[in-house]
A and B are shown apart, each in its own frame.
Chain A
């Protein structure tokens, strides 16, 4: 086909201009803002006060910011292990000739359809409540008194409760992705392996896992991005003021930029510049993870 430069420019310019306006400009402005003290996010350039790296220094001197990083690291690692393990098990079971596949696939995916706000409210008020919650009732019925009296939403267990509730909702999403990946693998390989006497585990290790490499890589990247941007569940567990067990960098940033919800924040503590620095750090973290995943899980460009 003959290339028509004028046509290309005509069609691309509006798209590139919009992209620049909506993405590039805010990114550059945020980056610049992170080196300034900016009290509120709408302050004009004239009010910005250059502070060099002071915003970053403040963040790393803040025990709550460090705590928020630890929290997302734990969500990423432990939550990731649980979600990926459970999702893989479900997807292998559902793709191995299981009856009622469509029903179970829909049922597992269902929590993703419900709004996170509704899901979190359900977990907090109806599952974790230590007097009439689901777990309390279930364990009491089974006579497991110690588990029945477990205080899910206390400061000591809040992180566990939040991660559990979050992971529950995320499994279905990855089941869909893994199932699509497994279904792309030719059945012949499995048939051949079965004829050779391979069991389910061996088929998983030697056929499924290597051929799912690309899908797994994308999934790890997606999981990392959602973990780094962890916000709604944290806000639902601690809607007024952040708690040690539930604070994440996004919540920390939100409070720096807009102030706390219940307690009026001293306006002097508001710092949209430091909020921008949190954004820059999170972007950097995402890029690092992306690079590491590409390095560790290489795509072998297998054709099948």
Chain B
């Protein structure tokens, strides 16, 4: 018992957040998905230095990998490199690196100095916790989420006001009416970039099929028979209408990211369909701080299905199974993702905070309601990316459909021929 206390002693002050010198130094290695100059990295660096100051026995070595961590992490772990903590997209880390990480359910039940007396799990969004459990093979939690994101349509509130549009569209018919009003007011209603091109198609198919598994089945169908479903043609016709009515930017088919984003940021186009919560941060150099951003969820196409499903997620941290000090590592993650540093991260990246009680930055404030209304999850691309062979074909044909180069019928026929 005494021995156990001796081991625990150096760790306890960490949880207490006190400045008491720890007996033994604790060294942690963090491999980051950020580049050192990105705003996220700057906040994380300050937060980590703050943690070290509060816990003098702890030293955290940071390696800024950038997104290359997707390729470099696993070989490094396999080669025995000491890496205690890493981060990346929540879905990717759990599905790809669950076997390298420790389960965190126990830690979620504990409180930390920055959780205001509540258990850590009570400060983290419930929807993200459910998502974490659904990604793992055993229903347990293997990551700590931060920087929540949701896929939404972005629009310029000034354009809407000048076109006499009182509220953001909820249904597809309202969306068409918004496009018509914007066009009548002299605006180009919408645009998108190649990087996000397939997202509206994926969401629309989810809105008419009601589940992403059906969309994944479409992508995986080598016979092409599933594409004969009338709901597919109906979806294609909806987009054909957008193209025929001239609601899309004339350069939509050749927009290479970030050309389309810039069309919205420079006031040339009213809506961006669709993008993640990070868009205002990405274009803030062009828009300045006061751009009148608004957001709405992808409209309801079939009232029986509604719009309660959406693509959402976050970045996430994991702790290695080989970490010698997992308690300290989790205390660090709690420090980074709750309280002051959660707020700092949200403010500096124009992103969403993890704390459900906090306001979201003004430029993405509409996203909070969208996030709150979600009841089920749709994967990125709505399931269309489930087949690596079919996906590029679908994306190319959909781009042609939006550009008015093919009709809805040709869209379906061309995809069937290309599968």
Do the two chains bind? Answer: yes
With A and B bound together, what is the CA distance between A18 and B70 in angstroms?
A: 30
Inter-subunit contact A263/B380 (CB<8 Å) = yes
Of B95, B195, B259, B418, most buried by chain A (CB within 10 Å of CB) is B259
Q: Could you say which residues of chain B place their CB within 8 Å of the CB of A151? A: 251, 253-254, 403
A128 to B195, CA, bound (A): 17
Of the residues B75, B259, B380, B405, contact of A41 by C-beta under 8 Å: B75
* Shortest Cβ-Cβ A-B pairs, 9 listed: A42-B78, A155-B396, A151-B254, A154-B253, A264-B92, A153-B254, A263-B385, A130-B251, A154-B254
Kindly list chain B residues whose C-beta atoms are within 8 Å of the C-beta of A255. Answer: 388
Residues in chain B near residue A157, CB distance under 8 A: 254
- Does any Cβ of A come within 8 Å of B122's Cβ? no
Determine the chain B residues whose CB is within 8 A of the CB of A238 once the complex forms.
194
User: B406-419: contact bitstring with A at CB < 8 Å (1 yes, 0 no)?
Assistant: 00000000000011
A243 contact from B91, B381, B392, Cβ within 8 A: B392
Given the complex of chains A and B, what is the CA–CA distance between A244 and B399 in angstroms?
12
A149 to B419, CA, bound (A): 31
Which chain B residues (36-81) contact chain A, with CB distance < 8 Å? 67, 70-71, 74-75, 78-79
Whether A156 pairs with B395 at a CB distance below 8 angstroms is no
Query: CB < 8 Å: which of A40, A62, A149 contacts B389?
Result: A62
A251 CB to nearest B CB, Å: 11
A97 at the interface (CB under 8 A from B): no
B396 touching A267, Cβ below 8 Å: no
Subset of 16 A-B contacts with CB under 8 Å? A42-B74, A63-B419, A125-B259, A129-B259, A130-B251, A154-B399, A156-B405, A239-B195, A241-B385, A241-B391, A243-B194, A261-B70, A263-B381, A264-B89, A264-B92, A266-B386
With A63-B393, A125-B256, A261-B67 as contacts: A42 and B419 at CB distance below 8 Å? no
Q: Which listed residue (A152, A237, A241, A259) contacts B70, Cβ 8 A? A: A259
**A267–B92 CA distance with the chains assembled, in angstroms:** 9
- Is B96 close to A, CB under 8 A? yes
Query: Does residue A96 face the partner (Cβ distance < 8 Å to B)?
Result: no
Query: Could you tell me the distance in whole angstroms from the C-beta of B261 to the nearest C-beta in chain A?
Result: 12
Binding site for B on A (CB under 8 A): 40-43, 62-64, 124-125, 128-131, 149, 151-157, 237-245, 247, 255, 258-267, 269
Residue of B91, B92, B251 touching A131 (CB-CB under 8 A)? B251
B91 / chain A contacts, CB cutoff of 8 Å? 264
Chain B nearest CB, measured from A110 CB (Å): 24
Contacts of A262 in B (CB 8 A): 195, 380
Q: How far is the CB of B128 from chain A (nearest CB, A)?
A: 16
Q: How large is the interface on B (under 10, 10 to 19, 20 to 34, 35 or more residues)?
A: 35 or more
Q: In the bound complex, do residue B79 and residue A244 qualify as a contact, i.e. CB atoms below 8 Å apart?
A: no
Tell me if B392 and A260 are in contact (CB < 8 A). Answer: no
Contact B380 A241 (CB under 8 A): no
Contact B392 A128 (CB under 8 A): no
Contacts of B183 in A (CB 8 A): none
Q: Provide the residues of chain A in CB contact with B389, threshold 8 Å.
A: 62-64
Contact of A241 among B253, B379, B395, B403 (CB under 8 A): B395
CB interface residues, B 371-401, toward A, < 8 Å: 379-381, 385-386, 388-389, 391-393, 395-396, 399-400
Contact A155 B195 (CB under 8 A): no
Of the residues A42, A243, A259, contact of B79 by C-beta under 8 Å: A42
Question: What is the 8 Å Cβ interface bit string for chain B, positions 227-259, against chain A (1 contact, 0 not)?
Answer: 000000000000000000000001101111001
Tell me the smallest distance from the CB of A277 to a CB of chain B, in Å: 15
Contact A154 B89 (CB under 8 A): no
A124 touches B256 (CB 8 A): yes
Pair A40/B395 contact, Cβ less than 8 Å: no
Q: Considering the complex, give the chain A residue whose CB is closest to the CB of B96.
A: A267
How far is the CB of A149 from the nearest CB of chain B, in Å?
8
Interchain CB contact under 8 A, B254 and A128: yes
Which chain A residue shows the least CB distance to B93?
A264
Whole-angstrom distance between the Cβ of A30 and the nearest chain B Cβ: 16
Q: How far is the CB of B99 from chain A (nearest CB, A)?
A: 10
B400 touches A242 (CB 8 A): no
Closest to B259 in A: A129
Check A241–B71 contact: CB distance below 8 A: no
Say yes or no: B388 contacts A64, CB within 8 Å: yes
Asked if residues B399 and A155 are in contact (CB atoms below 8 Å), the reply is: yes
* CB nearest to B216 among chain A residues: A266
Given contacts A63-B393, A151-B253, A155-B396, 19 further A-B contacts (CB under 8 A): A41-B75, A42-B78, A63-B389, A64-B392, A128-B256, A130-B251, A153-B256, A154-B400, A156-B405, A157-B254, A239-B195, A241-B392, A244-B392, A244-B393, A260-B385, A262-B195, A264-B380, A266-B386, A269-B388
Nearest-neighbour CB distance to chain A for B337, whole angstroms, equals: 21
- Specify the chain B residue showing the minimal Cβ separation from A161: B254
Question: Which of A40, A130, A239, A263 gathers most chain B CB within 10 Å?
Answer: A263
Q: How far is the CA of A293 from the CA of B263 in the complex (A)?
A: 49
Tell me the bound Cα distance from A64 to B393 in angstroms. 9
CB within 8 Å for A247 and B380 given contacts A41-B75, A153-B256, A156-B405: no
Output the least CB separation between B378 and chain A (Å).
12
- Report how far A265 CA is from B67 CA in the complex, Å: 15
Q: Say yes or no: A265 contacts B254, CB within 8 Å.
A: no
CB distance from B350 to the nearest CB of A (A): 20
B residues 259-278 touching A (CB-CB < 8 Å) = 259
The reply to whether B92 and A243 contact each other, CB–CB distance below 8 Å, is no
C-alpha spacing A95/B250, complex, angstroms? 47
CB of A245 within 8 A of CB of B396, answer yes
B61 to chain A, nearest CB (A): 23
Q: B76's closest neighbor in chain A, by CB?
A: A42
| CA A62 to CA B418, docked complex, whole Å | 11
- How far apart sit A63 and B380, CA to CA, in the bound complex (Å)? 23
Chain B contacts of A243 at CB under 8 A?
194, 392, 395-396
Q: Are B254 and A152 in contact (CB under 8 A)?
A: yes
* Nearest CB in chain A to that of B95: its residue: A267
B74–A40 CB distance below 8 A? yes
Distance in Å from the Cβ of B309 to the closest Cβ of chain A?
18
Minimum C-beta distance from B289 to chain A (A): 25
Alpha-carbon distance between A151 and B381 when the two chains are bound, in angstroms:
24
Question: Which residue of chain A lies nearest to B380 when distances are taken between CB atoms in the complex?
Answer: A263
Contacts of A41 in B (CB 8 A): 75
Question: Contacts A241-B395, A243-B396, A264-B89; is A155 near B253 (CB within 8 Å)?
Answer: yes
A201 to chain B, nearest CB (A): 40
